[in-house]
Amino acid sequence: MTTLLRYPGLSPQRVSRDAKYSVSAGGSITLEYRESTRVRYLLSTEDHPDLADMVNDVKVAWQGARGGAFYINEFKFILVPDGGGGQCFYAGQWHDTLVFRDGSLEVSPHAPEDLQPGDIWPGPHVGIPYVLNASLTDIRYDISEGRRTETFFLSDTNDSSAVRELTQRLGHHKRSAGGRIFINEAYEFFAPVREGDQWIYRYLGALDLENDPWFLPPDGFGD
């Protein structure tokens, strides 16, 4: 029997269908991929049965049935939502890369080699949401429990000048003053940007693990 473990860090809440992965009862992993505002694909892979089993073990322990949504955050943690808007369950850590193919189409969390920050983000919209403040000086996230909400800032545990350098870079490529940004399991940043009467996603660049400041995973989780 799998022991359920609540993840105390940032859990995505109420995201759109194309901003999460799903696993089927049979073990395939699916992604709703939006190529444009008018074109979307339902992609699937059966190449990662170990990942599917890790997610389904939590699904069965919590809801008594296999299948449903999950996320992989920037720490490579597999997060399984409880379906009620609370903190996700932790299903383990996974270091491989999800790749979805359909004919000549190949979709993965990694940016194509020729993609430049500021370009349209062609990858999946699955990512962990953070908030870039309007003054482009900090990044934050909230954790709510009941009526209590606690806010965490990147500057709480990092040098403010290093934080500002990162936020200025992200804000420049986002082409707007703050707002929601996403980071995925490949350390790629992207963000929704309103242009005219539609929302598009722009690539903001990758997190430099050696030089950029970032949040730490919760104590006791990960390698």
- Is the torsion defined by CA of 98, 185, 49, 59 positive or negative? negative
Q: How far is CA 6 from the centre of its chain?
A: 18
Torsion of CA 196, 199, 203, 209, to 10 degrees: 130
Q: Rounded to two decimals, what is the model's pTM?
A: 0.94
Q: How many C-alpha atoms does 147 have within 13 Å on its Cβ side?
A: 0
Beta-carbon-side half-sphere exposure of residue 154 (alpha carbons within 13 Å): 22
d(CA 138, CA 132): 6
Stated as kind and residue range, the H or E segment containing 72 is strand 68-72
Q: How confident is the model at residue 152 (pLDDT cuts 50, 70, 90)?
A: very high
Q: Band of the pLDDT at 1, cuts 50, 70, 90?
A: low
Average pLDDT (162-167) is 96
Question: Residue 182 corresponds to which amino acid?
Answer: F
pLDDT tens, residue by residue, 27-72: 999 999 988 778 888 999 999 999 999 999 999 999 999 999 999 9
Quick one: average pLDDT of 189-211?
91
Given pLDDT bands bounded at 50, 70 and 90, which one contains residue 189? very high
